[in-house]
Amino acid sequence: MDLSNLTIDAARSAVQDRTTTAVALAEEHYARIQKEDGQIGAFLTLSKERALEQADRMDFMAAEGKPLPPLGGVPVGIKDVMSTRGVRTTAGSKILDKYVPPYDCTAVARMEAAGAVVLGKMNCDEFAMGSSNENSAFRPVRNPRDLNRVPGGSSGGSAAAVAADMAVVTLGSDTGGSVRQPASFCGVVGLMPTYGRVSRYGLIAFASSLDHIGPLAKTVKDAAIVLRTIAGRDPMDSTSADVPVPDYVAELDKPVRGLKLGVAKEYFGEGLDDEVRHAVEGAIDKFNSLGCEIVPVSLPHTPYAVPTYYLIATAEASSNLARYDGVRYSHRARAAKTLSDMYRRSRDQGFGAEVKRRIMLGTYALSAGYYDAYYLKAQKVRTLLTRDFDEAFRKVDAIVTPTSPTAAFRLGEKSNDPLAMYLADIYTVTASLAGIPGISVPCGETREKLPIGLQILGKHFGEATILRVAHAYEQAA
Amino acid sequence: MKVTEQDVAYVADLANLELTAEERTGMLGDLNSILDYVDRLNELDTSDAPPMAQVSDRYGVDESKQCSERFAYASRDDIPEGLRKSLPHEVALENAPDSDGTFFLVPKVIER
């Protein structure tokens, strides 16, 4: 079967009508991984046994003529920050090198309950901290479009696998742009749902007030199918919202004519690459021709989003990562004489440079004497950033921006300058802080054939609208 | 320079990190450059902005109620059996770097 452009419905139908089998489809993906992933590095662990068991179940159902569930037989990948029972889960870190979770992440369980075949676990920046995937403790991921370029991060493996047809869809996690930015760099669709839309039970925590699980897919429709599958209240996660889940797929074909789309000048300022600007302006013209009304909006606190994000995210990370102490699970340093010595050495050996940097920054921002000046101040600015969106969404249905100020950069280009790397998130962290949903859809290429991403931001729980807008653009482009 | 070498040592201590001499030097430079950058937040007047700790505070909270009652949306009914069944003992110990089959083992805490 031709794996390029293979979507969820095409894969499921082929298994349902016995054109192929789920087992054959999984094996074809493994063959492709075998062939391509040596140079890309998208997978950290393959879960072949689990995949083939599930594929078998789907084939059995199809053979009996039973209707397959929405993801029946569809090969998927899971970012290695989501726990998978019996399958090694590392979070891209040496400290969890040997960790085998005893339970499943809710989002993964829901994917499998819907028939998905989990091929394996996707490479990522260590503890999802990074914008280039160069912070993986195992190996960097390379961009399938240009192997000298990064795939973005932190869900770089999830994006690269979809772009290279090594999985039909994948799950990623987005804390400051970690689904949307790699989607943009690799030329695929990436969705960060509203905070609370998808349960985080079983997601290895980075920054709890900012962590989201979301899909990376070849089409907007596939992203909608996955969201419909994983969204909704989960009693195991008290932050999951008790808000009804609409049929995102059915909503896709509603007309976009008459929708008001906001354009904020703050997203088109200094630092935005000319080719990206041009592509996004082209997309805005396209929306105009589709009958959308383009409305200027102002999000005046945008320039303060990156510093706010890096204080809040690191403060929460310093607290969340305190659990890696070498006692119950995680790497333990040998030959430590005392307990506190064992903690220190284990953490020192287990964590990489960026993780230590963020733990240090976060600990500093929370420490006595600096809490008010840094952490509390950032939380207040977060309120201002959120009010900007509240104000804008009184006038518009969605906001369109570039996903990233540039196309994919080269490996090593920013890896020695943490601040330059943080600024790669400049257009994505705002939505993370406000908790609103955002989607990145491919919107053309640079002269060097590198993908460009268009970001569409929506109101809280407004996924149906941004998916519809993204779908309309995808169909028209 | 906001952060000094002493600060780095103090914070590393709080964070239970050892850090080599080389790492400390790097950390000193990185923390100072990042903190210089985040200082721009002080340009903003936040006197009428309450701190925002959670997005989920924005929906479901019943402002008319007091204390934990306000967050009733986040709670669930107790289920005596099933939902929160603990992991079996041996499963919980499976990932332990060291255990005697009953407890997690760690280096001595108190010298006798």
Q: Which residues in chain A are contacts of B5 at CB distance < 8 A? A: none
Kindly tell me if the per-residue pLDDT of B82 is higher than 60.
no
Contact (Cβ atoms closer than 8 angstroms) between residue A291 and residue A258: yes
Torsions phi, psi for A215 (to 5 deg)? -85, 150
Q: Please give the full DSSP string across A171-238, using - where no structure is assigned.
A: EEEESSSTTHHHHHHHTSEEEEPPTTTB--TTBPPS-TTT-EEEEEESSHHHHHHHHHHHBS--TT-T
- Tokens describing residue A279: 């592509």
Give just the sign of the alpha carbon dihedral A406, A409, A412, A413. Answer: negative
β-pairing, A117-122 vs A75-79, is: parallel
**Confidence (pLDDT) at B79:** 67
Confidence of residue B80 (pLDDT cuts 50, 70, 90): low
Which of A99, A243, A382 lies nearest to residue B52, judging by beta carbons?
Answer: A382
Compute CA B18 distance to the chain's CA centroid, rounded to the nearest angstrom. 18
Residue with tokens 């020192």: A348
Task: Map out the domains of chain A as residue ranges.
Answer: 8-251
B110 burial type by CB count under 10 A (0-12 exposed, 13-18 middle, 19+ buried)? exposed
Top CATH class of A8-251 equals alpha beta
d(CA A412, CA A181): 17
Which of A209, A322, A340 lies nearest to residue B54, judging by beta carbons?
Answer: A209
CA atoms within 13 A on the CB side of A452: 25
Q: Which residues in chain A are contacts of B83 at CB distance < 8 A? A: 235-236
- Beta bridge pairs of residue A146: A143
DSSP reduced 3-state for A77: strand
Contact across the interface for A381 and B3, Cβ inside 8 Å: no
pTM: 0.96
Contact across the interface for A242 and B40, Cβ inside 8 Å: no
How many other C-beta atoms lie within 10 A of the C-beta of residue A64?
7
Query: What pLDDT digit, counting tens, does each position of B38-71 carry?
Result: 999 999 999 999 999 888 666 667 778 888 787 7
d(CA A299, CA A155): 27
Go through the domains of chain B in sequence order and give each one's CATH number: 5-42 (1.10.20.60)
Q: Judge whether A238 is closer than 8 Å to chain B, CB to CB.
A: yes
Active site residue A218: no
Q: Judge whether A371 is closer than 8 Å to chain B, CB to CB.
A: no
Closest CA to A52 of A25, A87, A23, A32: A23
For B47, the enclosing helix (H) or strand (E) is none
- Tokens describing residue A89: 């889960």
Contact (Cβ atoms closer than 8 angstroms) between residue A248 and residue A228: yes
Angstroms from B65 CA to nearest CA on chain A? 19
A93, A132, A154, A240: the catalytic one is A154
CA atoms within 13 A on the CB side of A260: 12
Active site residue A178: yes
Contact (Cβ atoms closer than 8 angstroms) between residue A312 and residue A434: no
Compute CA A123 distance to the chain's CA centroid, rounded to the nearest angstrom. 12
Closest CA to A180 of A386, A462, A451: A451
DSSP reduced 3-state for A122: strand
**Confidence (pLDDT) at A140:** 97
Contact across the interface for B50 and A380, Cβ inside 8 Å: yes
Q: Is B53 left (phi over 0), alpha (psi -120 to 50) or beta?
A: alpha
- Tokens describing residue A64: 């009996």
Angstroms from B23 CA to nearest CA on chain A? 8
How many other C-beta atoms lie within 10 A of the C-beta of residue B49?
18
Angstroms from B11 CA to nearest CA on chain A? 6
Contact across the interface for A238 and B16, Cβ inside 8 Å: no
Contact (Cβ atoms closer than 8 angstroms) between residue A307 and residue A358: no
Contact (Cβ atoms closer than 8 angstroms) between residue A139 and residue A93: no
Contact (Cβ atoms closer than 8 angstroms) between residue A388 and residue A301: yes
Contact across the interface for B109 and A338, Cβ inside 8 Å: yes
A47, A178, A240, A404: the catalytic one is A178
Active site residue A208: no
pLDDT in tens, chain A (477 residues): 899 999 999 999 999 999 999 999 999 999 999 999 999 999 999 999 999 999 999 999 999 999 999 999 999 999 999 999 999 999 999 999 999 999 999 999 999 999 999 999 999 999 999 999 999 999 999 999 999 999 999 999 999 999 999 999 999 999 999 999 999 999 999 999 999 999 999 999 999 999 999 999 999 999 999 999 999 999 889 899 889 999 999 999 999 999 999 999 999 998 999 999 999 999 999 999 999 999 999 999 999 999 999 999 999 999 999 999 999 999 999 888 899 999 999 999 999 999 999 999 999 999 989 999 999 999 999 999 999 999 999 999 999 999 999 999 999 999 888 888 888 899 999 999 999 999 999 999 999 999 999 999 999 999 999 999 999 999 998
**Predicted interface score ipTM higher than 0.95:** no
DSSP reduced 3-state for A43: strand
d(CA A283, CA A260): 14
Q: Judge whether A423 is closer than 8 Å to chain B, CB to CB.
A: no
For A373, the enclosing helix (H) or strand (E) is none
Contact across the interface for B97 and A359, Cβ inside 8 Å: no
CA atoms within 13 A on the CB side of A151: 38
